[in-house]
Structure 1
Amino acid sequence: MNLRRFFRLPYVLIVLAILGPAFLLPQVMRSNRQPTPPPAAPPAAAPFVSYIAGTGTVESSSVNLNISAPVSGIVTQMSVQAGQHVRRGQLLFRLDSREAGAELLRRRAAVEVSRSAVAAAEANALEAQDQFQRVRDIGDTRVVSVEERRHRELTALAADKRLESARADLRAAEENARAQAITVSRLDVVAPIDAEVLQVNVREGELASTLAGVRVPVVLGNTERLHVRVEIDENIAWRFVFSMCVWSLCWSARPRLRAVPPNVSTPACCR
């Protein structure tokens, strides 16, 4: 009997060696665990019995306007900075206009050339008309032959046609110069509305590109009145009613908002 107990003792010790740490390890870990600190601020809670929630984004009432450059070019002047209020028509930034300006000068010079051509054509037409009038009323063929009279008449008609062509060339040159002047003016990008500059993404000397995916040079928005775009989960979207009041739990300056379309009267709680 004593021998049998002697052989059973190691098995008991082995079992205790395995099970002992399994029971003691959780106790040690719980004793070393740091207590969870209290939250710095209580979580937001809706002060209503019945409500739906959504994630909101504050936007300008005009929707953010991405002011792009009409053509890709180097910014030579940036006239605004973020946070600045601008008026409609105020200069935002200017692109390099040296090449376009040189082309404008060339086309204006072409206008002057066309005007000189018109003046010369007018003088030739007057001279040809005068030569024709001198022989038109002379009936005596011994003084002026029929061929001479016909020649002067055709010369006067040709001079008139050349004058019309010169005037048409002048109008075309003026339109070309006017179109180039518009191209030069487009390089001065101005504000389309009264707004606030929300972003300025380029600086003087940098390239303002028109490629897709590139950040626009300037972003404008009317911040006098803000709009909040709310995304509501599709599982509870059916509970949303346009005439209900909307509250923002994190915007302390103006906590009460409205979700009222133009064809729905404003509820009394939101007035």
Structure 2
Amino acid sequence: MRKFVLPVTAAVLFLLGLWSVARTQPRYPPATPIAAPPSSPFAATVAGVGLVEARTENLALSVPVAGLVSAVHVQVGETVPAGHVLFTLDDRDVRAEVALRREELATAQRERDRLRQTPRPEEVPVVEATVREAEQALADAQVQRDVLENVSDRRALRMEDLRRRQIAAQLREAQLARARASLALITAGPWSADLAVADARVAAAEARVRRAEADLERLVVRAPVPGSVLRLNVRPGEFAQTGRLREPLVVFGAIDTLHIRVEVDESEGWKVAASSPAFAVPRGQTAVRLPLTFVRVEPYVTPKQSLTGDSSERVDTRVRQIVYRLSPGSRVAVGQQVDVFIGTLNQGGRS
């Protein structure tokens, strides 16, 4: 009996252990997806992931110069015309520079106007009187010289006195010539070379004013095209950096018509034609099919950027971007990810 009782007991206990383990194992019901995956009705299909974007593409606006944000004039979602002020930077120092340059321009213009208005009407009589005075002085010197020259007896005068009277007459002649030359100079008006220098100074001052005004305008960020503010990452008091930022200061674009940018693998991009039918399926809405209209194919093949997260997805793949237009009234948002299916021609010639 001992030969059979122990093995049988051990076998029974082993079976009971297996049954207990099997009974206590957790059982999970099969998981059902939240939404059924989208399917394509085309016999030959090229599928890709698309991103909804504005008609003008999503414009990432920045600033040409770094500075402190003084005011923000728009809100997210606001639609503005082209040239509308979005936000401004602190411009106190630049405004002071503009005022200084304008004063320099006004000074240069006044100097040029003063030069053009020469001579003053009051200056001419003064010079004419100087000419008349020089003429009278010359006449007096000539009379005194003639008196001594007409003396018949040279012993009655000194040759020194005669010589001095002759020199005095010549001096008066030179003074008269100088006075007449001054009158001719002042009545001739400004010299053309002086006017050219004055005009050049005015032009240089105007250029400095335009440069200062351009620096002032660079502190104002305006809407490049009519559109809407899609994202606003700037507040008054913050410091705005220049260049291509990780988070753009303002994302702007025209959303009256939305586009979808689809990335198609470079090995399948040749299958897509402008006449190929296409539709988009928003994520989580497999019953919704948005018809698409072909817009263009980007000529440059780029590295893949829109990753789905699949472990088998190749990240070194280059893709061709195809842009489609959504029909008006499509209930999607800019930046939303959609699945796009494009009907193509298979090798048998059927689509």
Q: Where does residue 156 of structure 2 map in the other structure?
A: none
- Identify which of 229, 236, 257 aligns with 1:197: 229
Contact between 1:125 and 1:163, CA under 8 Å: does it hold in 2? no
How many residues align structurally?
A: 251
- Identify which of 226, 239, 253 aligns with 1:221: 253
Matched, 1:106 2:76: no
Larger radius of gyration: 2
Q: TM-score, normalised by structure 1?
A: 0.74
1:242 to 1:27, Cα distance in 2 relative to 1, 3 A: farther
Contact between 1:243 and 1:260, CA under 8 Å: does it hold in 2? no
Shift of 1:188: 1.9
Q: Where does residue 185 of structure 1 map in the other structure?
A: 217
Contact between 2:50 and 2:263, CA under 8 Å: does it hold in 1? yes
Tell me the distance in 2 between the aligned counterparts of 1:171 and 1:236. Answer: 61
Shift of 1:203: 0.7
Q: Where does residue 249 of structure 1 map in the other structure?
A: 281
Give the match's secondary structure for 2:274.
Answer: coil
Tell me the distance in 1 between the aligned counterparts of 2:274 and 2:46. Answer: 13
Q: Where does residue 24 of structure 2 map in the other structure?
A: 28
Q: Where does residue 51 of structure 1 map in the other structure?
A: 45
Tell me the distance in 2 between the aligned counterparts of 1:253 and 1:75. Answer: 43
Tell me the distance in 2 between the aligned counterparts of 1:164 and 1:233. Answer: 67
Matches within 5 A, 1:80-229: 80-122=74-116, 143-144=173-174, 148=178, 152=182, 160=191, 161-229=193-261
Q: Where does residue 301 of structure 2 map in the other structure?
A: none
The one-letter code matched in structure 1 to 2:70 is T
Q: TM-score, normalised by structure 2?
A: 0.59
Tell me the distance in 2 between the aligned counterparts of 1:182 and 1:237. Answer: 46
**For structure 1, which segment, 39-48 or 190-199, has the greater mean C-alpha deviation from structure 2 after superposition?**
39-48
Tell me the distance in 1 between the aligned counterparts of 2:20 and 2:295. Answer: 63
The one-letter code matched in structure 1 to 2:292 is L
The one-letter code matched in structure 2 to 1:257 is L
Q: Where does residue 75 of structure 1 map in the other structure?
A: 69
1:241 to 1:174, Cα distance in 2 relative to 1, 3 A: closer
The structure with the largest helix share of the pair is 1
Structure 1 residues 225-251: Cα deviation after superposition (integer angstroms, max 9, x where no partner): 111111223454443333211011227
Tell me the distance in 2 between the aligned counterparts of 1:260 and 1:101. Answer: 46
RMSD (CA atoms) = 3.9
Shift of 1:40: 3.6
Structure 1 residues 123-161: Cα deviation after superposition (integer angstroms, max 9, x where no partner): 56679x9779x99xx9xx974579848975997799624
Q: Where does residue 258 of structure 1 map in the other structure?
A: 293
